Amino acid sequence: MERAVHDRGGWPTDARIDRREHELADWELLTDALVGTLMREGVMNVDELRRGIESMPPDEYERASYYERWLYSVETALREKGVLAPGELDRRLAP
């Protein structure tokens, strides 16, 4: 059975655990708070957040930082729900 990329328990690795920590950057807190607000408002739920994260292409999942995964997922959910039109956020970001 092929394993999904997020299903990490016992995943073969000898990697030591990097114990460096960083204080959350503004955008990370913002992403967390946006998701929290969307959940409180009933726009999306935690299972949708998790499912969206799990739907990332595996190599992207492994490369992405924690809140990059959240952002990917919340964008996915908002597009599915029709809150964001396809490409809307990209257009907003275009110079």
Partner 1 sequence: MSYRVGERVRVADRAHEGHHRTPGYLKGKIGTVERVHGSFANPETRAYGADGRPEHALYLVGFAQRDVWRDYRGREDDRICADVYEHWLEEAG
Partner 2 sequence: MSDHGHDHPHAPVTSGDEPPAAARARALEDLLVEKRVVRHEDVRQMIDWLVSRTPADGARLVARGWLDPEFEERLLADARAAALELGLDPGPSPRVVAVENTEAVHHLVVCTLCSCYPRALLGPPPDWYKSLPYRSRAVSDPRGVLSEFGVELDDDVELRVLDSTADIRYLVIPRRPPGTEGLSEEELAALVTRDSMIGVAQPLATAPAG
Please count the residues of this chain forming the interface with partner 2, following the rule CB under 8 A. Answer: 53
- The single-letter DSSP state of residue 17 is P
Q: Does 84 bind partner 2 (CB under 8 A)?
A: yes
Sites for partner 2 among residues 16-45 (CB under 8 A):
16-34, 36-41, 43
Decide: 6 and 46 in contact? Cβ < 8 Å: no
- Interaction pattern, residues 10-49, with partner 1; x per rule: CB under 8 A: x----------------------------------x-xx-
* Long-range contact pairs involving 23-27 (C-beta distance under 8 Å, separation at least 24): 27/67
- Unique residue bearing structure tokens 């299903």: 7
- CB 70: neighbour CB atoms within 10 A? 19
- Chain residues binding partner 2 by CB under 8 A are 6-13, 15-34, 36-41, 43, 46, 50, 53, 62, 65-68, 71, 74-75, 78, 83-84, 88-89, 92-93
